[in-house]
Structure 1
Amino acid sequence: MQSIQWFPGHMHRTRRQLAELLPKADAVIEVLDARLPQASRNPLLHQLRGPKPCVVVLNKSDLADPEVTQAWVTHWKAHDLEVLPLVATDAKVSRRVLQAARALVPPRNFRLRPLVLLIAGIPNVGKSTLLNSLAGRKVSLAADKAAITRAPKRIHLDEETTLYDTPGVLWPKLEDQHDALLLAASGAIRETALDLWTVAVGAAALLHQYYPERLRARYGIAGDGPPEEFLWNVGKRRGCLRAGGVVDAEKAAQVLLGDLRSGKLGRISLQKPPA
């Protein structure tokens, strides 16, 4: 299988920008994908922020298996991490992020010296959506695909709080290719940088391992054979055909990945915490 890698030029700039902005921040809000919490944690960000306080947000929790999400919360809280599962479009719940971040900062008069927070994470985990919810208005462009935000933005939420929104950034080399597959399947890596068929085959294998009943319910196919055969049959059933009745591999891949990303397969987690 071809190695999955994606670190375009704007991510080099973002890494430098993060290094410049982090000293100005009192705390970091790290946004992860609740369906793959560990794979969506950027080790580069951990290295850059050092001991600075951090609130870990498990966004898209409405798409994740709730039992697995709770297991991640328990796991990380046992390691003294402040963890909040949420859906970034829910403004009321999202405000808890600010409360949690403020609680990590030594008390002071925030009117005289406002709280400065930095939102960071990999592409397509919902950083800009969270910022819009916290601001109560559209202050950042958000879309369900990678690499929408290209430059940091500074937003004054109120007299006591300033937020920096930063572009999504991966790390220069994705050495763990299993995690890279999870990132690609979730939409964190731009599709033009991928072989969609290979990603969809890997996703089908994982889904058959963890949630075989969801595949049967959605596609009416048992999926007991090779994942390539399963995906081929999905393409046939969904009419992803070229001239002569040949399955269009890319369209079949898009069907499965689209259903996975949108939640049409149900609430699914692709990664569980360590035992």
Structure 2
Amino acid sequence: MSVQWFPGHMHRARKQIALVMAKVDVVIEVLDARLPGYSENPLLRELRGGRPCLKVLNKSDLADPAVTEAWKDFYRTQGAVPMEIVGTSAKDAKRILAVLPGMVPPRNFIMQPVNCLIVGIPNVGKSTLMNALVGRRVARAANQAAITTKQKRVHIGDELTIYDTPGVLWPKIENEEASYMLAASGAVRETAMDNAEVAARAGVYLLREYPELLQARYKLTELPAGGLELLEAVGRKRGCLVKGGEVDQDKAAGILLNELRAGQIGRISLQKPPKAKKD
């Protein structure tokens, strides 16, 4: 299943990013630490060209720490600078600001400030991070997709300028697994995909990668066989029943997805980095 979700403001945002990129020294790409590869936008990679890139793995407090370390190793092999953060952390914001000047050739930064572009797909926490970097609210932040709709430019001291942009998804997500995992993470509006399908697909992954966390969270005596069976079990445990004692799959799906996104099941990564190719 592929997702086509490209509101008009996203088309405009792509054009804006292309125009401002000529002025940019460093790209700050905000990724969801739970699925860094799926939350990369190939359009942004194309527009960035050879500019230095700081790969910010946000929401790292929700992701599996071991998997996050593996992603950082992977990005280093790609020539990028990875950094795991929590977007609301002032300490992490200072770490980002400290590393940016070192990503460009030495120069008089007062005379020629470092121009940075902060980019990312919807709901990776880009606006929250922007507010933390600036130290005040300059971007509307919310835990749902497609909130920022206009570009902003903010000066941070005399040496840094940061351009903020709307979150941009690419026109069509062809990778089926990426579609479901992005939806499970909250990057795609719930109206774009069927909630029960998304939850069932995420459930298959969770049963394979994090069975102990599922058992502990939902007090399961034995693991269900698949995603739909997991929804059935969660629904019965949480009382999501309709007339006749059947499980309301939509309610059960809502519970599973909301608790997954909130980190209540545990620290979970929804994607692992590609394995290194053997010579």
TM-score bracket for the superposition, by shorter chain length: over 0.9
Measure how far apart 1:138 and its partner are: 1.2
Does the 8 A contact of 1:54 with 1:101 survive in 2? no
In the superposition, the TM-score normalised over structure 1's length comes to 0.96
> Residues 187-241 of structure 1, C-alpha deviation per residue, up to 9 Å, x if partnerless?
0001111100000000000000000011110112233312202102211221223
Q: Does 1:155 align with 2:154?
A: yes
2:273 is aligned to 273
SS in 1 for 2:180: helix
Distance 1:201 1:223 in 2: 14
* Aligned alpha-carbon RMSD (Å): 1.3
Letter of the 1:199 partner, please give it: V
Measure how far apart 1:78 and its partner are: 2.2
Percent identity, aligned pairs only, is: 55
- Stretches of structure 2 that go unaligned for 5 or more consecutive residues are none
Distance 1:73 1:175 in 2: 25
Letter of the 1:262 partner, please give it: A
Distance 1:133 1:255 in 2: 30
Letter of the 1:40 partner, please give it: S
Does the 8 A contact of 1:90 with 1:133 survive in 2? yes
Distance 2:142 2:130 in 1: 13
1:68 is aligned to 67
Distance 1:215 1:250 in 2: 19
> Residues 74-111 of structure 1, C-alpha deviation per residue, up to 9 Å, x if partnerless?
12112221100111111112222122221111222221
In the superposition, the TM-score normalised over structure 2's length comes to 0.94
Does the 8 A contact of 1:63 with 1:263 survive in 2? yes
- Stretches of structure 1 that go unaligned for 5 or more consecutive residues are none
Measure how far apart 1:242 and its partner are: 3.2
Distance 2:167 2:131 in 1: 16
1:249-268 alignment, distance < 5 Å: 249-268=249-268
Does the 8 A contact of 2:2 with 2:172 survive in 1? no
**Aligned residue-pair number:** 274
Letter of the 2:50 partner, please give it: P
2:18 is aligned to 19
1:30 is aligned to 29
Distance 1:212 1:60 in 2: 22
1:198 is aligned to 197
1:59 is aligned to 58
Does the 8 A contact of 1:82 with 1:100 survive in 2? no
